[in-house]
Amino acid sequence: MTALLGVSGLTRRFTLPRAPGFRRVGPRVVAAVEDVSFEVAAGEVLTIVGESGSGKTTVARVLAGLDTATAGTVSLAGRELAGVRTPADQRLIQLVTQNPRAAFNRRRTLRHALHQPLRVHGLAANRAERDALVLDLVERVGLTADHLDRLPGEVSGGELARLVLARALSVRPRVLVLDEPTASLDASVKATVVELLLRLRADLDLAIVVITHEIDIARRLADRAAVMYLGRIVELGPAERVLARPRHPYPLALLASVPVPDPARVGPASAAALGEGIVGEVPSPLDPPAGCGYHPRCPFATEVCVERRPLAEPLGDVEVACHHPR
């Protein structure tokens, strides 16, 4: 079976302008994303977790066609999508970003905001058809027609988060990419958004990629999890495994830095390895460490970690890029 979304060898480097006064230094290159590969099936949720600056948003933007990769490919049902998307392809992968307030024009009604993508992509024959489609969407996300006549400032943050989803879904995407969808929401609203996403995934058979800092949200939503560090995936596998008993020292430390809701699920061996949590700072992606990017912070690092970058290899039910998996 071909996965719905296929990402292979995805790399995005940014060249920064030369700093004034450093004319003899060559161009500085930020390796934001390096050789990232994963697949997501229809009806599946993949979560991407990792510290700030690990390249999560860059992956999301390239997936959605808002940025072009330096190398690598994005495919949909086995068909490679061009870096610069055709309008027809552009709608197939929709990105929802963190701040719902910034996503709407505050002077236009929400009805206008929801009608516009249907008009742009020519997905409805006339106004009546657009009206019907928009009403169906609004009900799908648990709101009513009366929300449509309001301005973005006249609905709550949670309602707006639902409307952002409705708008992304209006163009009938196959893949939904959500970058920190719950970061700006109250705890109770977060829970309803999680429920909604799980229902939409099942109803619409979407492939969903969720980027989040919130490990508890990732655990509730995801079937599979990818952990990124300095632009690379260091561990990929079933979410209940990667987000509870990872093999790579980085997610182990990352999980130790967040409260464990159910300590019984973390085996005694890994509980000991969790130790103090994450230590030190993320190295600069302008000047990444040689060998394994995590070695300067890793309590298990040896000489080989300094010398050679570990390749991702299957280990039980996960793939891990580490010389000394736990």
Ligand X SMILES: Nc1ncnc2c1ncn2[C@@H]1O[C@H](COP(=O)(O)OP(=O)(O)OP(=O)(O)O)[C@@H](O)[C@H]1O
Q: Pick the binder of ligand X from 3, 30, 63, 96 (CB under 6 A).
A: 30
**Residues in the chain, overall count:** 326
Q: Please report how close the Cβ of residue 250 comes to ligand X at its closest, in angstroms.
A: 14
Q: What is the dihedral of CA 69, 73, 77, 82, to 10 degrees?
A: 60
Q: Please report how close the Cβ of residue 247 comes to ligand X at its closest, in angstroms.
A: 22
- 53 makes contact, choosing from Mg ion, ligand X, none, with CB < 5 to 8 Å by partner type, with ligand X
Whose Cβ is closer to Mg ion: residue 57's or residue 170's? 57
Residue 184: DSSP 8-state? T
Q: Could you say whether residue 54 binds ligand X (CB under 6 A)?
A: yes
Q: Is 140 helix (H, G, I), strand (E, B) or coil?
A: helix
Q: Pick the binder of Mg ion from 47, 57, 70, 90 (CB under 5 A).
A: 57
**Which residue in the shown chain puts its C-beta closest to Mg ion?**
57
Interacting span for ligand X (CB under 6 A) from 56-64, 73-81, 115-123, 183-191: 56-64
Please report where in the chains the tokens 């648990």 appear, as a residue: 142
Nearest-CA neighbor of 55 among 94, 6, 11, 99?
Answer: 11
Tell me how many degrees the CA angle 240-235-282 measures, rounded to the nearest 5.
Answer: 115
Contacts (CB under 6 A) with ligand X, residues 57-76: 57-58
**How far is C-alpha 230 from the geometric centre of its chain's CA atoms?**
15
Phi, psi of 206 (to 5 degrees): -85, 150
Interacting span for ligand X (CB under 6 A) from 52-60, 100-108, 255-263, 264-272: 52-60
- 212 makes contact, choosing from ligand X, Mg ion, none, with CB < 5 to 8 Å by partner type, with none
CB 169, CB 91: distance < 8 Å: no
Q: Pick the binder of ligand X from 6, 53, 181, 325 (CB under 6 A).
A: 53
Q: Please report how close the Cβ of residue 324 comes to ligand X at its closest, in angstroms.
A: 25
Cα distance between residue 254 and residue 285, in whole Å: 19
Q: Pick the binder of ligand X from 3, 4, 32, 253 (CB under 6 A).
A: 32
Whose Cβ is closer to ligand X: residue 51's or residue 131's? 51
Q: Please report how close the Cβ of residue 203 comes to ligand X at its closest, in angstroms.
A: 29
AA identity, residue 35: D
Q: Could you say whether residue 99 binds ligand X (CB under 6 A)?
A: no
Strand partners, 15: 29
How many Cα neighbours within 13 Å face the side chain of 244? 17
Q: Please report how close the Cβ of residue 102 comes to Mg ion at its closest, in angstroms.
A: 14
Q: Please report how close the Cβ of residue 55 comes to ligand X at its closest, in angstroms.
A: 4
Cα distance between residue 240 and residue 318, in whole Å: 11
Q: Could you say whether residue 232 binds ligand X (CB under 6 A)?
A: no
Whose Cβ is closer to ligand X: residue 76's or residue 230's? 230
Contacts (CB under 6 A) with ligand X, residues 272-291: 285
Q: Please report how close the Cβ of residue 187 comes to ligand X at its closest, in angstroms.
A: 20
Q: What is the strand order of the sheet 5-16 is part of?
A: 28-40, 5-16, 71-76, 79-80
Helix axes 157-170 and 110-120, enclosed angle (nearest 10): 20
Q: Which residues of 91-124 are buried (b: 16+ CB within 10 A; e: fewer)?
A: bbbbbbbbebeebbeeeebbbebbbebbeeeeeb
Q: Please report how close the Cβ of residue 12 comes to ligand X at its closest, in angstroms.
A: 8
Q: Could you say whether residue 55 binds ligand X (CB under 6 A)?
A: yes
- 55 makes contact, choosing from ligand X, Mg ion, none, with CB < 5 to 8 Å by partner type, with ligand X
Phi, psi of 255 (to 5 degrees): -70, -30
Residues forming contacts to ligand X in the complex (CB under 6 A) are 14, 16, 30, 32, 50, 52-58, 285
Residues forming contacts to Mg ion in the complex (CB under 5 A) are 57
